[in-house]
Amino acid sequence: ALRRGSARRSTAVIPYFGYARQDRKSGPRTPISAKLVANLITEAGADRVLTMDLHAGQIQGFFGPRVPVDNLEAAQVGVEYFGNLDPPLQNPVVVSPDAGGVYRAKKFGEALHKRIGTEPGVAMIIKQRQKAGEIARMDLVGSVEGCDAIIVDDMIDSAGTLCKAAENIKKYGARKVYAFASHGLFSGPADKRIRNSCMEKVLVVNT
């Protein structure tokens, strides 16, 4: 509509980028829907895209050279919140719930270090899935014993993975478990799962 109305320039602000999890071909005949969404937005005539905490950074390249993408980060909101906790965090450690989120967790830890002056540790959960949405086993890489752990992820959907990760972190000796995510989908049984979990608080921004 903007293009047909002769707008000089249009910017699409998309805080939550739909289909972002379908960013690669995970099996035969599966769609790369994130690329399709990028094509639709490009063909519709957007000149620039602003989004927040994409599930995978490479989605920015799906738009091609004509449409620049700004992938903003919500981490600062979480850092400010956890930096102002009363009582303050003790022996903080930032935990990534999967291997793909380690870079995100590391950056969050660096920002938290600047905010509170204490350098947090970084740990990672390794998941083995039985099938989509069902996890067979979780292992922890790193130490959380006697620490206040913050699970950092890009989104919370049904919260199954999050709650199971929190449970495992507690088993490994964490003092308290918190969670921070950019996108709070909270679909299906998420609310009930979080209420019955061992987590102290779950923090999301309003994308």
Cis omega before residue 189 (within 30°)? no
Burial class of residue 6 (count of CB atoms within 10 Å of its CB; 0-12, 13-18, 19+): exposed
- Determine the residue type at 181: A
Q: Is 127 a catalytic residue?
A: yes
CA distance 79 to 82: 5
CB atoms within 10 A of CB 25: 10
d(CA 207, CA 200): 22
- Which residues are within 8 A (CB) of 158 and not within 5 positions of it... i.e. 6 or more apart? 133, 185, 187, 188, 189, 190, 193
Of 127, 164, 192, 201, catalytic: 127
Name the helix (H) or strand (E) containing 112: helix 102-116
Catalytic annotation, residues: 127
